[in-house]
Chain A
Amino acid sequence: MNVLLPAMIGLPLAVALLLLLVRGISDGAAVRIATGTAAVNLVLAVVASVQAAPFDRSGPGLEVDASWIPALGVRAHLGMDGISTPLVLLTALMGLLVTAHALRVRPSAGRLPGLMACFLAVEGGALATFTSLDLVLFYIAFEVVLVPMWFVIALWGDDKQPPRPRPRSTPLPGGQAARTDAAWRFMLFTAVGSAIMLLGLLLVALQTGTTDLVVLADGAGAGMSHETQVLAASLIVLGLAVKAPMFPLHTWLPPAHTIAPTGGSMLLAAVLLKMGTYGLVRIALPVAPEGFETIAPALGILGMAGAVWGGLACLVERDLKRLIAFSSVAHMGFVLVGVASMTPEGLQGALFVNIAHGLITGLLFLVVGSLKDRHHTADLHVLGTGLRDRLPTMGWLLALGCFAGLGLPGLAGFWGELLAIVGTWGGEDALGATARPLAVIGVVSTLIASAYLLRVLWSIWHGPREERWRSDPDITDATAHEVALAAPLVVATVALGLLPWLLLDITGDAVRLLLGVGGVTP
């Protein structure tokens, strides 16, 4: 039996438990323990990825399969293939970055052992989600991240947010109320989503008589009537769409991202959202392909609606953290459209956006969190212009994140959205008559993305130095620590932009196998 996968999942969870149970661990020790654990885990994840290669065979490259709950037919079946490997690496990297971030930067409230335990628990749960090959195990792993993330927002979130009474249609609470509101929104939306998903998973398990994802993917919906497939796919997609998030179920995301501490926002964006889209690719699409094809147009339309809606919200949003949260809604909309196209290009694009968005948004949240820590606000108008002169390193990191986010060729953001649009254009089998209009709207929404990110640069990066911060001694440029944290994200963003095949080769064969098509994918 291979111990690598259980170790990779078990280690952060065990250390999290340790941090919770052992009393009297100082803040500094807790962060060092957590950072060390996350570093070891990153090594484990890299070794596991190497062992899982090559990715052109059918079935997972690295596998653990043991009996767990025979009465329900549930097995502890873990595995890594081309679809899960990039996400496992991204999760392990983010785990290290968010724990290392706390080495120098303290959240505004609360003690650190608990926060570190929550971060590690989220990492362990996400790794379990990305590697589980059993429906019920996936569901349990999916739920593992819920409580720790809720605590991250509810206990360590920003409780000094000023209330925002305008616009009167959507006022935002401030202070403690904002934190409670954000934490409960996150919890209730995602809990309802996963309960609905559970019904779909149970339906699949009962109709096919197995919960094993490898068997189910091989069967490609065998044993289920068309109506059952549609019902199962609808329930699973609806449940996962809350997490992804899909318009109009995205309203939990902006407050959660805004209120969470920097590390929490990075994990939410780079890891939690991916669990939703990963579930679509791993479960909904292969297990009930006919049903998925039937609801694909609806998924495509709503995904694109999210891409446009998120972009439009970004055009008027003043809070920079909230703006990046809305841009996540937009990017994840592209992922949904790409998956809905059911073409190799679209799926490749979706998986590429998944990773690129994780890296880029992680970087943006890191930079914006640092800005907010220094200025105690993330309001574009208050931050003022001239960041590139005031804080040059920080300014350039922000600029790089924005350029990558708007899909500048040569950076990671470009390829995924290009492929998703190409896939949508050719996805008439699944999307029907909506394919081409959706592709055209996709192009428009990338233009909107350029507009809002250029607006950000115009508002705070460019222009004369803002005078009000001149005399504040707290406001310094990025520290070596922050640069070191940003470096892996910057390197990966540039590397994937220049050498996209690094990622496309890993996912390509898995996608071909998933869709059961031959031929060459980009």
Chain B
Amino acid sequence: MNSVQAIDFSAVAPAAGPALALIVILLVDAFAPRGAKLSRVHDLIALLGLVGAGGAVAWLVRTDDPAATLCSPDPLGCSYISSGLTWTLQGLVVGAAVVCLMLAVDSDVAADRTPHHVLFLTATAGALTLAGARDLATLVVALETASLPVIGLVALRRDARGAQAGVTLLFTAVASLGIMLSGVALLLLSTGSLHLNRIAFVLSSPELDHSVRAVAVLGTLLVVAGIGFKVSVVPFHWWTPDTYAGTSLPVAAFLGAVSKIAGVSAMVIFLTIGLPVLGDSSAPVLGALAVLTITVGNLVALRQRIAVRLLAWSTVAQAGWVLLPLAAVGASKPSAARDAAAASIGYLVAYVVAGLAAFGVVIVLARRHPDGEQHSLQAYRGLARTHPAAGIVLGFALLCLAGLPPGVIGLVAKVVALQPVVDAGMWPVAVLAALNVALGLIYYLRWAALLVQQPEGEPRSWKVTPAEVLALGAACLACVVLSAAPELAAGIVPDMIR
């Protein structure tokens, strides 16, 4: 075995963007004269790092030259692969991170610019690396890089609620890491490799021993449970509402967007690249988990009166929808794994875009409402009349999340997510999910209906900051473009799943 592995730097360039930016921020902070006003400088550096990452992704997509790097002599043993799947996920991470950054720069958490931006960029770099990770060690490390800094972000709000939310998230992270690592160990034990492609190859061998297969299935389920914590899959979701409500809203938006993308990326890569052959064993479990997640999320969201809590529970339900197609990985068709990955990511795109638009309006309103971040849904009464732009963005985002026209993208996303399940003939799962479409639209629509009602009291005038305009505009524009051309989300068929 050669000791030094060759690294293809162009392939890992996207993850380098935020990493470089965070080093520059630390250096500027260390060498700047005391008392210098650096907050805008830090914002700019962070933004440049993200834009650089976006440029790198765009360049990789343009050259369209999939590459494998960090390879061992084993032909199936590359740790990082830069392919269509990787670029899609990275593009989504960068877009979501830019919007989250714009939402964060005017908030109280960003009062401490340096720690906030460093943690923010570290987590983003982790999510970007995760998209290309193709062995279990890299996957786990990247997933932890994407999620551990978020604990810091949550705890940046230095009060009791922030501390409690941080501690909750810390316990979750520790528990999920432990579970995930035991799953990884069992998979290593049964297949002798950490590389996902090698694992897939070993498990697809016809001479595979039954007991080995059983160990691999157990390992798979443990890893799924571990990742399930990150994406708040029921029954591993209990941290979600307290953390969302306890932290500052821009951090909650980050949790709901970038962290969610990271978790789903891990799930998609793990299940569709590493273990498609175990699909028929894991499919029923995943199907049940997905439907349970959607149902519990929807049922609890129905009863929420605080806007951020409603959003928190609705992200739980939406995470279930994202996982739903993965239940069909084990279908007998050869393209099943690829179709499932495409559907899952297609739904993820729609959810992230619409979710960020909704979060954006909630953040903008929370900064100007006397009840602050704990404002109830009643605060939205008549918003479309008093503040038409915010009202229209939120209304459209809610209809996208509910999956009702004119939010065509939400509707197409539901079609995309249900298709693999119907194709695999998993009727109980499909029917329960379909019934949840109706359940979900109750609370979204109830909220949307408040927007157009007669406002109560004198409307207060707002002055929206440029960063907020940018964030809301970008998210809303993405919703509109995707609704007019759903192909952009539905057509993500990641080539080269390796």
Contact with A along B402-446 (1 / 0, CB 8 A): 001110100110111011001100000011001101100110010
Measured in the bound complex, the distance between the Cα atoms of B408 and A114 in whole Å is: 21
Say whether A198 contacts B441, CB under 8 Å. no
Of A199-207, A282-290, A388-396, A445-453, the segment with at least 4 beta carbons within 8 Å of chain B is A199-207
Complex CA distance for A69 and B445, rounded to whole angstroms: 27
Contacts of A192 in B (CB 8 A): 435, 438
B218 within 8 A of A: no
A199 and B415 within 8 A (CB): no
Indicate if A168 sits at the interface (CB-CB under 8 A): no
Assess whether B288 is interfacial by the CB under 8 Å rule: no
Render B302-340 as a binary contact track against A, CB cut-off 8 A, 1 for contact.
000000000000000000000000000000000000000
Q: Considering the complex, give the chain A residue whose CB is closest to the CB of B412.
A: A69
Count of residues in B whose CB is under 8 Å from the partner chain: 36
Which residue from A70, A154, A191 sits with its C-beta under 8 Å from B437? A191
State whether A203 touches B415 (Cβ < 8 A): no
A76 to chain B, nearest CB (A): 11
The contact of B438 among A139, A150, A195, by CB within 8 Å, is A195
CB <8 Å contact, A187 and B441: yes
Quick check: B490 and A71 within 8 Å, CB to CB? yes
Q: Tell me the minimal C-beta distance from A70 to chain B in angstroms.
A: 6
Q: Pick the contact of A68: B342, B434, B453, B487 (CB < 8 A).
A: B487
Q: B399's closest neighbor in chain A, by CB?
A: A147
For residue B178, CB closer than 8 A to chain A, the reply is no
- Shortest A297–chain B CB gap in Å is 23
A143 at the interface (CB under 8 A from B): yes
- Is B388 on the interface with A (CB-CB < 8 A)? yes
CB of B445 within 8 A of CB of A72, answer no
Closest residue of chain B to A147 (Cβ to Cβ) is B404
* Chain B residues, CB < 8 A from A143: 404-405, 411
Chain B residues contacting A69 (CB-CB under 8 Å) are: 412, 486-487, 490-491
- Interface membership of chain B positions 439-466, coded 1 if the CB is closer than 8 angstroms to chain A and 0 otherwise: 0011001000100110000000000000
Within 8 A of B (CB), among A137-179: 139-140, 143-144, 146-147, 150-151, 154-155
A453 to B404, CA, bound (A): 39
Contact A206 B422 (CB under 8 A): yes
**A139 to chain B: which residues have CB within 8 Å?**
411, 415
B residues in contact with A23, CB < 8 Å: 388
Q: A187-B441, A202-B422, A203-B422 are in contact. Are A72 and B405 (CB under 8 A)?
A: no
**Partner of B411 from A140, A151, A206 at Cβ < 8 Å:** A140
**In the docked arrangement, what's the CA distance between A11 and B238, Å?**
48
The smallest C-beta distance from A469 to any residue of chain B, in angstroms, reads: 33
Using A72-B415, A188-B442 as known contacts, say yes or no to A198 and B434 having CB atoms under 8 A apart.
yes
**How far is it, in angstroms, between the C-alpha of A23 and the C-alpha of B486 when the chains are bound?**
29
A488–B435 Cα distance when bound, in Å, is 41
A125 close to B (CB within 8 Å): yes
Q: Which residues of B contact A21 (CB under 8 A)?
A: 388, 392
Complex-state Cα separation, A390 to B422, whole angstroms = 61
Partner of B434, one of A140, A155, A184, A199: A199
Task: Tell me if B202 counts as interface (CB < 8 A to partner A).
Answer: no
Task: Write the A279-313 contact mask toward B (1 if CB under 8 angstroms, else 0).
Answer: 00000000000000000000000000000000000
Do A155 and B452 have beta carbons less than 8 Å apart?
Answer: yes
**CB-based contact A199/B404 at 8 Å:** no
In-complex Cβ contact of B419 among A155, A188, A195, A202 (8 A): A202
Answer whether residue B379 sits at the interface, using C-beta atoms and an 8 A cutoff.
no
B493 at the interface (CB under 8 A from A): yes
CB-contact partner of B445 in A70, A140, A187, under 8 A: A187
Contact of A114 with B388 at beta-carbon distance under 8 Å, contacts A69-B412, A199-B422 already known = no
Point out the residues of chain A lying under 8 angstroms from B406, CB to CB: 144, 147
Tell me whether A70 and B491 are in contact (CB under 8 A): yes
A103 at the interface (CB under 8 A from B): no
Q: CB-CB < 8 A to A184: which residues of B? A: 442
B453 contacts across to A, CB distance below 8 A: 155
- Cβ B487 vs Cβ A199 within 8 A: no
B392 and A114 contact, CB distance less than 8 A:
no
How close is A327's CB to chain B, nearest CB, in angstroms? 28
B435–A195 CB distance below 8 A: yes
CB distance from A130 to the nearest CB of B (A): 16
A195 to chain B: which residues have CB within 8 Å? 434-435, 437-438
- CB-CB < 8 A to A114: which residues of B? 452
Compute how far the CA of A184 lies from the CA of B446 in the bound complex, rounded to whole angstroms.
10
Q: Within 8 Å of chain B (Cβ to Cβ): is A136? A: yes
* Shortest Cβ gap from A371 to chain B (Å): 29
Q: Is the pair A202, B392 in contact by a Cβ cutoff of 8 Å?
A: no
**Chain A nearest Cβ from B403, distance in angstroms:** 8
Identify which of residues 40-78 in chain A touch chain B, using a CB-to-CB cut-off of 8 Å: 68-72
Closest to B404 in A: A147
Q: A140-B405, A144-B405 are in contact. Are A199 and B431 (CB under 8 A)?
A: yes
Rounded to whole angstroms, the CA-CA distance of A254 and B280 in the bound complex is 47
Question: A503 in the interface, Cβ–Cβ < 8 Å?
Answer: no
Task: Indicate if A196 sits at the interface (CB-CB under 8 A).
Answer: yes
B211-238 residues with Cβ-Cβ distance < 8 A to A are none
Bound form: Cα–Cα A69–B491 in Å: 7
**In the complex, which residues 246-261 of chain B have their Cβ closer than 8 Å to any Cβ of chain A?**
none
Q: How far is the CA of A70 from the CA of B491 in the complex (A)?
A: 7
- In chain B, positions 346-380 with a C-beta closer than 8 Å to chain A are 346
List residues of chain A with CB within 8 A of the CB of B486: 68-69
A287 to B404, CA, bound (A): 26
A140 to B406, CA, bound (A): 9
- C-alpha gap A205/B415 in the complex (Å): 11
CA distance A9 to B434 in the complex (A): 28
- In the bound assembly, the distance between CA atoms of A196 and B453 in angstroms comes to 31
Q: Which one, B405, B416, B434, contacts A196 given CB within 8 A? A: B434
Q: Are B418 and A202 in contact (CB under 8 A)?
A: yes
Q: Please name the residue on chain B nearest to A203 by beta carbon.
A: B422
**Contact, CB under 8 Å: A146 / B415:** no
Min C-beta distance of A72 to chain B, whole Å = 6
Residue in B closest to A193 when the chains form the complex, CB atoms: B438
Which residues of chain B come closer than 8 Å to A198, judged between CB atoms?
A: 414-415, 418, 434, 437
Cβ contact of A125, chosen from B405, B419, B423, cutoff 8 A: B405
Bound: A154/B448 CA distance, A:
12
Q: Are B415 and A70 in contact (CB under 8 A)?
A: no
- Centre residue among A21, A70, A143, A195 by max chain B CB count within 10 A: A195
Complex interface bits, B382-397 against A, C-beta within 8 A gives 1, otherwise 0: 0000001000100000
Question: Bound complex: CA of A144 vs CA of B406, how far in Å?
Answer: 7
* Complex CA distance for A429 and B406, rounded to whole angstroms: 43
Which residues of chain A are within 8 angstroms of B412 by Cβ–Cβ distance? 69, 72, 136, 140
Q: Determine the residue in chain B with the shortest Cβ distance to A145.
A: B405
Q: Mark B471-498, 1 if CB is under 8 A from A, else 0.
A: 0000000000000001100111100000
25 pairs across A/B with beta carbons < 8 Å?
A: A70-B487, A71-B346, A71-B492, A72-B419, A140-B408, A140-B412, A143-B411, A147-B399, A147-B404, A151-B449, A151-B452, A155-B449, A155-B452, A184-B442, A187-B441, A187-B445, A188-B442, A191-B441, A192-B435, A196-B431, A199-B418, A199-B431, A202-B419, A203-B422, A205-B419
Closest 5 CB pairs of A and B: A71-B491, A195-B434, A191-B438, A144-B405, A195-B437
- Known contacts A21-B392, A72-B412, A151-B452, then 19 further A-B pairs from the complex at CB < 8 Å, ordered by chain A residue: A21-B388, A69-B412, A69-B486, A70-B487, A71-B342, A71-B490, A71-B491, A71-B493, A72-B490, A136-B415, A140-B408, A143-B405, A146-B405, A147-B405, A187-B442, A192-B438, A199-B418, A206-B419, A206-B422
